[in-house]
Amino acid sequence: MKKSIKLIAVSALLFLFTANIFAQDKAKQIEELLTKYNEYGQFNGSALVSENGKVIFKKGFGSANMEWDIPNQPDTKFRLGSISKQFTALLIVKLAEDGKIKLDVPITTYLPDYPKENGSKITIHNLLTHTSGIPNYTSAPNFFKDKARNPYTPEVFVKTFSSLPLEFTPGEKFSYSNSGYFLLGYIIEKISGKTYEQNLQEIIFTPLKMTNSGYDHSNIILKNRAAGYEKQGKVITNAAYLDMSIPYAAGSLYSTVEDLYLWDQALYTNKLLSEKSMESLFKPYIKAWEGFYGYGWSTYEVPNGEKSKLNVVEHGGGINGFNTIISRIPADKNLIVLLNNTGGTVLGEMNAAIRAILYNQPFTQPKKSLALDLLDVFSAKGTAAGLDTYKKLKNDPTYGIKENDMNQVGYQLLQSGKKKEAIEIFKINAEAFPKSGNVYDSLGEAYLADGDKKLAIANYTKSVELDPKNESGKKVLEEISKNKTK
């Protein structure tokens, strides 16, 4: 009997030792991967990865503040953008669990001043699942120019979109809307009698000891806060100012990779909600993107080898100067958090590669952005030389075409008066991403700037077909048609 116990103990120690070796190997692969992305200018931020509930990797890359050369660290605070929505969703579900609201009743039950023509048709469930039909306020023409820098109270800002016609019958389909989550924050305040920020602190952050998370305010001195930057080709600039009353319950929070790990771990417990209420956050209520949408979370499946699949629960975020993602695989208690402070980048690509490392699957290595090299040649030597460089480099395995980078480079050329060069860049992008409405919209704009209305109409039309919500594209087509009839 004693020998059996010893054998079991030795086997357990051997298992733990082997598991630790594997974790170290994976951590090394993740570090090498993110170091390469950083070297290629595609990741400047902090990362954390946990496996089976235990952190195996956390590190900062690049600068939290470029003017002072302050490096990013695991405790650097980043604006989260739409990752904030999952916190808003939990607060709403908590109110429902406590019997203070119902999710299936019209929002006018709690917001009697909301226009009844629309409000009587929309439920809180619709707001949570982006099925309300309320137009997304950040998609409004000139939104960033006209509203983004100005402070608003929730009550006043709600009035900027509450009377707009609904885009579809509530519950009919999924259409991502920051307006819905803004309204949820307002409802939380109305029901609780406390600010959205107070609710976050009392119900989530304080109980979970998330001391490095909160509602961001530009005027408050916040230790270890990362500055936000944007990239324009190879040039990095300070991100445009955004008053944080605007993103509100749809995107106003800041956090660290370490605090988001605490958040992830709490979601496996009943510290914040009952088991039934917690499960309601992740249910696949409506078809969305490549999977489904729950309450503040998207869910989808990815292959894990030839025969099995992984259920992924995640959400991304984008806000002036920041790009973020939190990705969970609940079955294995695996977590990937990536917080970037140089604007939009390829976090989805990085996330997929790290997930592959965790499951010992092959993955695509980082690639240099072809757009940046093309910018130099098109700018200095013109169209012919630029196209010649493209032909030489497009099959080079160290390069890749990144849609956002190509789009930015095209606009840089267009704004500097190089219309023909911009057209060629946008054409390359459209060839590489034929299902993206945005690339055809950009190409249409370049043709219009160059005086070719026929090709402008063709590309704007294609853009609107691929993206029916492209209101600016529709407006341009209307204006071109009006001018043709004059």
Query: What pLDDT is stored for residue 219 in this prediction?
Result: 93
Looking at the chain, the whole-number percentage of residues with pLDDT higher than 90 is 85
Grade residue 8 by pLDDT with cuts at 50, 70 and 90: low
244-273 pLDDT, tens digit each: 999 999 999 999 999 999 999 999 999 999
Grade residue 486 by pLDDT with cuts at 50, 70 and 90: low
Work out the average pLDDT over 93-108: 98
Query: What pLDDT is stored for residue 13 in this prediction?
Result: 52
366-396 pLDDT, tens digit each: 999 999 899 999 999 999 999 999 999 989 9
Work out the average pLDDT over 214-239: 94
141-197 pLDDT, tens digit each: 888 888 899 999 999 999 999 999 999 999 999 999 999 999 999 999 999 999 999
Least confident of 55-69, 87-101, 323-337, 369-383: 369-383
Residue pair 210/259 in contact (Cβ under 8 Å)? The answer is: yes
Grade residue 17 by pLDDT with cuts at 50, 70 and 90: very low
Encode 206-243: b = buried (16+ Cβ within 10 Å), e = exposed: eebebebbbbbeeeeeeeebbbbbbbebeebeebeebe
Grade residue 482 by pLDDT with cuts at 50, 70 and 90: confident
Work out the average pLDDT over 282-301: 96
Query: What pLDDT is stored for residue 144 in this prediction?
Result: 85
pTM of the model: 0.89
The boundaries of every CATH 1.25.40.10 domain in the chain are 368-485
The boundaries of every CATH 3.40.710.10 domain in the chain are 81-358
Grade residue 15 by pLDDT with cuts at 50, 70 and 90: very low
423-443 pLDDT, tens digit each: 999 999 999 999 999 999 999
Query: What pLDDT is stored for residue 232 in this prediction?
Result: 82
Q: Which CATH architecture has domain 81-358?
A: 3-Layer(aba) Sandwich (3.40)
Query: What pLDDT is stored for residue 16 in this prediction?
Result: 46
pLDDT, averaged across the chain: 93
Work out the average pLDDT over 203-210: 98
Judge: domain 368-485, CATH 3.60.150.10.
Answer: no
